[in-house]
C-alpha cells in the first residue's frame, strides 16, 4: 500500500513543496526494514529512529512491514527534521492506524521528540506560503509555529502538540480549531522601541543628517571621538523609519523564520530590525553561509538597519564581501549543491573614530597619532566600499551645558512624520520606474540625471564646489542624490541652491586632502 502526504522544504527563504510517499510492503523478516530515499541529508536519515521511538511511545504499533519513504522530487536535496511528522503519519496510515483516505486533506510539518511531542521547526512561514500557492487548504504545524503560519490567509492552520493529537484529528476523533492570527495586534507594538531622538541632548545637526538618511534610504558613516553619542544616535534610527507594511513584515519574517529566530510570542516581525554585529564577525556570519547556508547579519537587517561600530576594525575581507549586497539588495551564496539568494535591502550605518587613538579634533584631549597612522587607519575602508556610503557625518563632542540643559530637539515621532512624507514623494516618483527602485539612494547614474535634475545656476554651484574643494568624482552623483532627498523633505519639486550646499557638507571623506 502507498500513501502520499503533502509537505515542504526550505531553499533559501523560499519553500519547495515535497510529497512524502510511504510504501508498506509485507516482509518475511523478523526485523522489518525502514528506508528513506529522495536525496535526504543526515538529519532526515536519522528520522527513522525518532519516528520509530515516537510511534512506540505514543502508544501505537510499529508497522511490521518493509517501509520505504520517498521524498519527491527526488533530485532536490532535503534537509532538516520537519519531515518527521508526515513520515510518522504515513507509517501509521499504511498500517491502517490512521485513515489513509483522510490524510490527503492535510499537509503537515513538524519534528518529533522521542515521546511523541511535536517540536517547532524553522522556515514555517515560507512553507505555508508555498503550500498555499499549491492549493493546500489545511496545514498541520507544531503548536509553537502556529502563529507564524497563521499570518498566511486562506489556509486552516491546525496546531498540534503531540503525535496522538494529529492521529485523533485525522481520524475524526479529536476536533482541533484552526489557529487565527490577529495581525493588527502584532502591529500594535510596532512602535515600541524604548528609545527616542527626543532623549538626545544636543547633536541637532547629526539628528538632521540622520533624518535625511532615513528619508532617502542613504547609508551613513559617522566620524567622531569616543563618547560623542554615535551608538546612541544609531540605535534610534529605526524609530524614524516609516512603519513596516505587511508586505515588508512578511519579507523580513521569512528571513527570521528560516534562521529559526521567530518567537511564539511575536510570530511576525513588525519592528524594523536593528542588527549590530561585533567587528570580529566572519564574512560568512555577515553575508550568510555554512554547509547548509543560512542568512547572515546583512539579511537579518532586511528592511531595517545594520549598524557597524568601530568600522575600520572589521576584517577587510568581511567588509569587501558587503559591496555586492549593498549595491544589489540581495545576497547570493553558491555551493556545489546549488545557490541560495537572500534579501539584503537595508540601511547601513557605520561609526568610526577619526584616528586610531580617537582624539583627532577633540576640544580637550590631544591626538597622539601621526599623519601616516591616520591615513593608514582610514585607508582600511576601501574606495569602492566608501563609494556605497552616501553621507559622511562628523559628530562633534557635546558641551556639558547642553547635556545638563532641559531643552530637547525633535522627537522620533516628529522626525518620522517628515521621513514618511518624503518617502511618499519618492514612492509616487518611482511608481513607473524600474522594479526594485524604492528610494533616492537606489537611483543609478542614469536615474539621477532624470530625477535629480539641476538648473544651470545650481549646476554651476556644484561644479565650482567640486573644483574648489577638490571633491572626488564619486562625490558628484552622491551629492545629487542627497540633495534630492533634502528637497523631498521640504516638499520642493526642484533642487535648489541650499539643498546642494547642505549635501556638499555630507561628503567630507571625498575631499582630496582626506
Cα–Cα dist 189/107, whole Å: 32
CATH topology of domain 219-406: Rossmann fold (3.40.50)
Residue 512: predicted pLDDT: 47
Ramachandran area for residue 296 (φ above 0: left; ψ -120 to 50: alpha; else beta):
beta
Please answer whether residues 117 and 57 qualify as being in contact, where contact means their C-beta atoms are separated by less than 8 angstroms.
Answer: no
Write down the residue that cell numbers 547629526 correspond to: 206
The set of cell numbers assigned to 505 is: 557638507
Residue 438 has a pLDDT of 87
Residues 6+ apart with CB under 8 A from 173: none
> What are the residue ranges spanned by the domains of the chain?
2-181, 219-406
Cis peptide before 9 (omega within 30 of 0): no
Which residue pairs from 441-449 have beta carbons closer than 8 angstroms and sit at least 24 positions apart in sequence?
441/216, 441/217, 441/218, 441/219, 441/390, 441/481, 441/485, 442/217, 442/329, 443/481, 443/484, 445/477, 448/477, 448/480, 448/481, 448/484
Sheet with 34-37: strands ordered across = 34-37, 66-72, 14-25, 2-11, 107-108, 138-142, 156-160
Class of domain 2-181: alpha beta
Tell me the pairing of strands 294-295 and 288-289.
antiparallel
Instruction: Give me the pLDDT at residue 337, please.
Output: 66
In order along its 514 residues, the chain shows pLDDT tens digits of 899 999 999 988 899 999 999 999 887 666 678 899 998 888 888 888 999 999 999 999 999 889 999 999 988 888 889 999 999 999 999 999 999 999 999 999 999 999 999 999 999 999 999 999 999 999 999 999 999 999 999 999 999 999 999 999 999 999 999 999 999 999 988 888 888 998 888 888 999 999 999 999 999 999 999 989 999 999 999 999 999 999 999 999 999 999 999 988 889 999 999 999 999 999 999 999 877 788 999 999 999 999 999 999 999 999 999 999 998 899 988 876 678 899 999 999 999 999 999 999 888 899 999 999 999 999 999 988 988 899 999 999 887 666 666 556 789 999 999 999 999 999 999 998 888 888 999 999 999 999 999 999 999 999 999 999 888 777 899 999 999 999 999 999 999 999 999 999 998 887 644 4
Nearby residues of 83 by Cβ (< 8 Å), 6 or more positions away: 7, 9, 18, 20, 44, 47, 71, 109
- Residue 224: its pLDDT value, please? 94
Q: What is the 8-class DSSP label of residue 42?
A: H
Determine contact, residues 303/345, Cβ cutoff 8 Å.
yes
Amino acid at each position: 500500500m502507498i500513501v502520499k502526504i503533502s509537505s515542504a522544504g526550505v531553499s533559501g527563504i523560499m519553500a519547495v513543496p515535497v510529497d512524502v510517499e510511504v510504501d508498506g510492503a509485507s516482509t518475511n523478516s523478523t526485523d522489518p526494514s525502514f528506508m528513506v530515499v529522495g536525496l535526504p541529508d543526515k538529519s532526515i536519515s536519522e528520522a527513522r529512529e525518532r519516528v520509530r521511538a515516537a510511534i512506540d511511545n505514543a502508544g501505537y504499533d510499529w508497522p511490521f512491514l518493509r517501509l520505504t519513504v520517498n521524498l519527491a522530487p527526488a533530485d532536490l536535496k532535503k534537509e532538516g527534521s520537519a519531515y518527521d511528522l508526515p513520515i510518522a503519519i504515513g507509517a501509521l496510515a499504511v498500517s491502517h492506524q490512521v485513515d489513509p483516505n483522510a490524510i490527503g486533506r492535510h499537509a503537515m510539518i513538524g519534528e518529533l521528540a522521542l515521546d511523541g511531542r511535536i517540536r517547532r521547526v524553522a522556515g514555517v512561514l515560507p512553507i505555508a506560503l508555498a503550500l498555499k500557492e499549491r492549493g493546500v487548504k489545511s496545514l498541520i504545524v507544531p503548536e509553537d509555529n502556529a502563529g507564524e503560519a497563521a499570518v498566511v490567509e486562506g489556509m486552516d492552520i491546525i496546531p498540534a502538540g503531540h503525535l496522538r493529537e494529529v492521529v485523533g484529528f485525522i481520524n475524526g476523533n479529536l476536533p482541533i480549531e484552526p489557529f487565527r492570527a490577529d495581525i493588527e495586534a502584532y502591529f500594535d507594538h510596532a512602535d515600541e522601541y524604548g528609545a527616542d531622538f527626543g532623549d538626545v541632548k544636543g547633536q541637532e545637526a547629526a539628528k538632521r543628517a540622520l533624518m535625511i538618511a532615513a528619508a532617502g534610504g542613504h547609508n551613513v558613516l559617522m566620524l567622531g571621538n569616543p563618547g560623542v553619542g554615535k551608538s546612541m544616535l544609531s540605535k534610534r534610527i529605526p524609530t524614524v523609519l516609516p512603519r513596516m507594511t505587511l508586505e515588508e513584515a512578511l519579507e523580513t519574517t521569512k528571513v527570521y523564520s528560516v534562521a529559526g529566530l521567530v518567537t511564539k510570542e511575536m510570530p511576525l516581525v513588525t519592528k524594523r530590525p536593528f542588527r549590530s554585529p561585533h567587528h570580529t564577525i566572519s564574512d560568512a556570519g555577515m553575508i550568510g553561509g555554512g554547509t547548509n547556508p543560512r542568512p547572515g547579519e546583512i539579511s537579518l537587517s532586511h528592511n531595517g538597519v545594520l549598524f557597524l561600530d568601530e568600522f575600520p576594525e572589521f576584517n577587510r575581507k568581511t567588509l569587501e564581501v558587503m559591496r555586492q549586497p549593498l549595491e544589489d539588495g540581495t545576497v547570493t551564496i553558491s555551493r556545489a549543491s546549488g545557490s541560495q539568494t537572500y534579501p539584503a535591502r537595508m540601511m547601513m550605518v557605520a561609526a568610526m573614530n577619526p584616528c586610531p587613538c580617537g582624539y583627532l579634533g577633540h576640544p580637550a584631549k590631544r591626538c597622539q597619532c601621526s599623519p601616516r597612522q591616520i591615513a593608514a587607519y582610514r585607508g582600511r575602508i576601501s574606495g569602492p566600499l566608501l563609494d556605497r556610503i552616501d553621507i559622511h557625518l562628523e559628530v562633534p563632542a557635546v558641551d556639558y551645558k547642553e547635556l545638563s540643559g532641559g531643552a530637547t530637539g525633535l522627537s522620533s515621532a516628529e522626525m518620522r512624520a517628515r521621513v514618511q512624507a518624503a518617502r511618499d514623494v519618492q514612492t509616487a516618483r518611482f511608481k513607473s520606474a524600474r522594479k526594485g527602485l524604492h528610494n533616492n539612494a537606489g537611483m543609478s547614474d542614469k536615474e539621477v540625471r532624470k530625477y535629480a535634475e539641476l538648473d544651470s545656476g545650481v549646476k554651476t554651484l556644484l561644479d565650482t564646489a567640486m573644483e574648489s574643494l577638490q571633491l572626488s568624482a564619486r562625490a558628484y552623483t552622491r551629492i545629487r542624490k542627497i540633495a534630492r532627498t533634502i528637497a523631498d523633505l521640504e516638499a520642493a519639486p526642484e533642487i535648489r541652491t541650499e539643498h546642494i550646499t547642505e549635501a556638499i557638507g555630507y561628503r567630507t571623506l571625498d575631499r582630496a586632502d582626506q
